[in-house]
Amino acid sequence: MAIGLHTDFALLPPGGLPHPLSKRAITALGGLRRRDCTGSDMLGWLCLPDQPESLLDEIEAEARRISALCDLVVVVGVGGSSLGAQAALDFVASPYYNQLTKTRPQVLFSGDHIDGDTLCDLLTLSAERRLGICLVSKSGTTVEPSLTFRALEHHLFTRYGPDAARRILCICGDGPLSDYTRHKGYTRFAIPEDVGGRYSTLSPAGLVPMALCGLDIRGALKGAKAARQAYLDPEGALTLPARYAALRQLLADQGRPVEVMAMFSPALGAFGNWLQQLFAESEGKNGGGILPLPAAYTADLHALGQFVQQGNPIVFETMLTLSRARYDCRVAPGGGFDGLNALVGQPLDDLCRLAVEAVARAHSEAGVPVLHISAPGRDAEVFGWLVMFFQMSCAVGALMAGINPFDQPGVEDYKAHMRRLFGGLI
């Protein structure tokens, strides 16, 4: 298995990537390989493919236990503690997982807002279901998930008494939440201390929700391991994630600070949100960074498309596509008002491929640089591979820009203001 990175569209200057950019990318990748780059104390994500079998067994056993007990699990988390699992669910299962599932609980993601009305609606619908909670919070002190967790936990204990404890899973780092779970007798899985939130998808933060939905967590780790081997091991080579990082930097240097990340399937929509968080929070520092704008194609061609084609030329485009369909779905017969009768019986997969080509042609003819990353298909192994690919590429890009890819000092500013303002309430 491998993913492809194409730059078909007159993107590169004659002679290919400029030598200094390639060299910086290779140097940054070397820093990851030797574990001596900036932020090297937070490289635990590179080891996640090696998590012990015993841990995976335990995760799967807990997931089976909760599945038998609950028909709805609310996964409570925000940012990196939520987006990876959402991406996995849509990618590996389906955007319609909740409508289709028979043997596993439905899953709703919440805990990422401060909105009482939305929380009340969640409590109302939860009251009608055999409910479970899966709290994902590295620090255990983030305001948004805490507010939702409190409400749901209170609801569960009011309803089930002490038995409620069996319905609660916590995934967290060391600290007060970890102590609390021990005290209450909740099942707890650890997020390793050297893994940051947005690099934690392949830790229990993502694996536990994935297992709840019956997804193949071993496959995901296998894919990530293969990607690490393919991209990190070859010393001194400009492997794909480094090449992608260098291309992005080249385009930003050419005056295009915004990357439209075009996902060519609804199953990739949540993956786009995960990518946005990964890149924005890793790179957006010191007045720099490329602004990631996820888009759902072809839907957003009827929205953003006009801007990309003819608007302010500040964007370049990276398309993510899947080259293998899961089902054989063909154009259905119909009345022909739409002018598509000649296509009846054609695989939608083929039409999608042509749409990708049409977009690439139209946009590159308008001078918009188009990158194209294609992944084989939608299984857990490909998902793990892509997660590792993008995490490595993101880290390389930040390191090339002289930035620590693993901190987020700017997020602290609003949190500090909020704590101060909350203090005034008391």
Strand-pair partners of 294: 261
Under rule CB under 8 A, which residues in 138-157 are in contact with a copy of itself?
A: 140-144, 146-147, 149-151, 153-154
Under rule CB under 8 A, which residues in 207-246 are in contact with a copy of itself?
A: none
Choose the stretch contacting a copy of itself; rule: CB under 8 A; options: 4-12, 188-196, 207-215, 418-426: 418-426
Show the tokens assigned to 242: 């480094």
Show the tokens assigned to 129: 């279901």
What is the contact mask toward a copy of itself in residues 29 to 68, using x (rule: CB under 8 A)?
----------------------------------------
Under rule CB under 8 A, which residues in 169-188 are in contact with a copy of itself?
A: 175-177, 179-180, 183-184
Q: Buried b / exposed e across 240-252, counting CB within 10 Å, b at 16+?
A: bbbbbbbbbbbbb
Which position among 79, 189, 224, 404 is part of the footprint of a copy of itself (CB under 8 A)? 79
Show the tokens assigned to 210: 């994935």
Asked if 418 is part of the footprint of a copy of itself (rule: CB under 8 A), the reply reads: yes
415 classed as catalytic: yes
Under rule CB under 8 A, which residues in 377-416 are in contact with a copy of itself?
A: 378, 408-411, 413-416
**Residue 223 neighbours by CB under 8 Å, 6+ apart:** 1, 380, 381, 382, 383, 384, 385, 386, 388
Asked if 78 is part of the footprint of a copy of itself (rule: CB under 8 A), the reply reads: yes
Coil, strand, or helix at residue 37?
coil
Phi and psi of 110, rounded to 5°?
-145, -170
19 classed as catalytic: no
Whichever of 196 and 384 has its CB closer to a copy of itself, that residue is 196
Under rule CB under 8 A, which residues in 304-343 are in contact with a copy of itself?
A: 304-315, 325-335, 337-340, 342-343
Whichever of 49 and 112 has its CB closer to a copy of itself, that residue is 112
Q: What burial class does residue 325 get, using C-beta atoms within 10 Å of its C-beta: 0-12 exposed, 13-18 middle, 19+ buried?
A: middle
Whichever of 53 and 332 has its CB closer to a copy of itself, that residue is 332
Asked whether 203 and 49 are in contact (CB, 8 A), the reply is: no
Under rule CB under 8 A, which residues in 271-300 are in contact with a copy of itself?
A: 273, 276-277, 280-281, 283-291, 293, 296-300
Cα torsion through 245, 251, 253, 255, rounded to 10: -150
Residues annotated catalytic, as ranges: 281, 302, 415
